[in-house]
């Protein structure tokens, strides 16, 4: 199996290295990742400028390509041009920080997986709750075990999946326990709309975005509620944004000019 691996934290991020090592159990890992951190860039691509791409070596061993672009650029360029072999699976991560709820739509990590889904490939985004001492090795073991199970049980055409791992699940796994895995929908509660206002030395206002307030807990289980309860989450996603029920209703409308 040929696996394209990318991320949005950049080619030197520890989450990428951990996943590269663990994914090599499943097949050949082809690495194309942003040269610099691209967190929060969503599904942006580079088309007003050339896309600079450099080979990266670990001592004398070729490691992969550092792309001076977005995560979606890496996947698009990787599948189309870089590797000269058909890609079977796209994996993005491990991101340092969860990508759940509406953050999925801001995420460069998830956008890279969505780009893989554009090519009708199985694509998986993996994110770990932010922790300055994050155990990406354990997270990679959990993620790859889940990816194996997804590929084994899937009966539908290739799909797009978003995996999130809370810190508490890592702690449990490290002590020999077995974190629960919940397949849940993406939460759609608005959150993180607070900004801290400060002044620069010239007296101009500037703003820092925060994650506050946290999302309200919903009755229906979502990725956000399951993560808050300490479970690993798997959410199937799709990139077709068409609202089918609205479209159905609109069939009886009159739209004339």
Q: Which span (94-102, 129-137, 149-157, 177-185) binds Mn ion, by CB under 5 A?
A: 94-102
Q: Identify the residue among 9, 115, 135, 223 touching Mn ion (CB under 5 A).
A: 9
Choices 93-101, 156-164, 178-186, 245-253 (CB under 5 A): range interacting with Mn ion: 93-101
Q: Smallest gap, in angstroms, from Cβ of residue 11 to Mn ion?
A: 13
Count of residues binding Mn ion (CB under 5 A)? 4
Stretch that binds Mn ion, among 8-16, 67-75, 85-93, 133-141 (CB under 5 A): 8-16
Please report how close the Cβ of residue 39 comes to Mn ion at its closest, in angstroms.
Answer: 3
Output the CA angle 148-107-187, nearest 5 degrees.
80
The one among 3, 5, 8, 22 contacting Mn ion by CB under 5 A:
8
Task: Name the minimum Å distance from CB 79 to Mn ion.
Answer: 21
Task: Give the nearer residue to Mn ion in terms of CB position, either 77 or 128.
Answer: 128
Cβ-based nearer residue to Mn ion, 83 or 125: 125
Residue 39 near Mn ion by CB under 5 A: yes
For Mn ion, which residue of 92, 95, 123, 167 counts as binding (CB under 5 A)?
A: 95
- Number of neighbours of residue 237 by Cβ within 10 angstroms: 17
Residue 73 CB, nearest distance to Mn ion (Å)? 15
Q: How far is the CB of 184 from Mn ion (least distance, A)?
A: 21
Q: Report the relative pairing of strands 160-165 and 232-237 from DSSP bridges.
A: antiparallel
CA–CA distance, 22 with 189 (Å, rounded to integer): 34
233 touching Mn ion, by CB under 5 A: no
Which range of residues in 39-47, 144-152, 186-194, 221-229 is near Mn ion by CB under 5 A?
39-47
Shortest Cβ 180–Mn ion spacing (Å):
25
Q: Is 129 in the site for Mn ion (CB under 5 A)?
A: no
Kindly state the smallest distance separating residue 4's Cβ from Mn ion, in Å: 18
| Strand-pair partners of 32 | 65
Residue with tokens 């889904």: 117
Interacting residue ranges for Mn ion, rule: CB under 5 A? 8-9, 39, 95
């Amino acid at each position: 199996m040929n696996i394209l691996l990318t991320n949005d934290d950049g080619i030197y991020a520890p989450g990428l290295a951990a996943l590269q090592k663990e994914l090599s159990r499943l097949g050949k890992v082809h690495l194309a990742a942003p040269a610099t951190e691209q967190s929060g860039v969503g599904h942006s691509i580079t088309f007003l400028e050339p896309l600079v791409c450099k080979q990266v070596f670990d001592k004398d061993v070729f490691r992969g390509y550092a792309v001076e672009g977005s995560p979606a650029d890496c996947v698009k360029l990787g599948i189309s041009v870089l590797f000269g072999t058909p890609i079977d699976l796209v994996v993005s991560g491990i991101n340092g920080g969860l990508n759940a709820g509406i953050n999925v739509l801001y995420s460069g990590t998830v956008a890279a997986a969505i780009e893989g889904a554009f090519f009708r490939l199985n694509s998986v985004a993996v994110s770990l709750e932010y922790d300055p001492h994050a155990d990406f090795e354990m997270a990679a073991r959990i993620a790859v075990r889940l990816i194996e199970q997804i590929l084994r049980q899937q009966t539908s055409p290739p799909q797009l999946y978003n995996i999130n791992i809370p810190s508490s699940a890592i702690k449990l796994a490290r002590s020999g326990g077995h974190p629960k895995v919940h397949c849940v929908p993406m939460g759609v509660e608005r959150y993180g709309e607070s900004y801290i206002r400060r002044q620069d030395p010239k007296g101009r206002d500037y703003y820092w975005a925060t994650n506050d307030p946290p999302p309200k807990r919903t009755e229906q289980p979502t990725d956000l509620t399951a993560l808050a309860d300490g479970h690993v989450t798997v959410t199937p996603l799709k990139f077709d944004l068409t609202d089918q029920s609205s479209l159905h209703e609109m069939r009886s409308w009159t739209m004339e000019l």
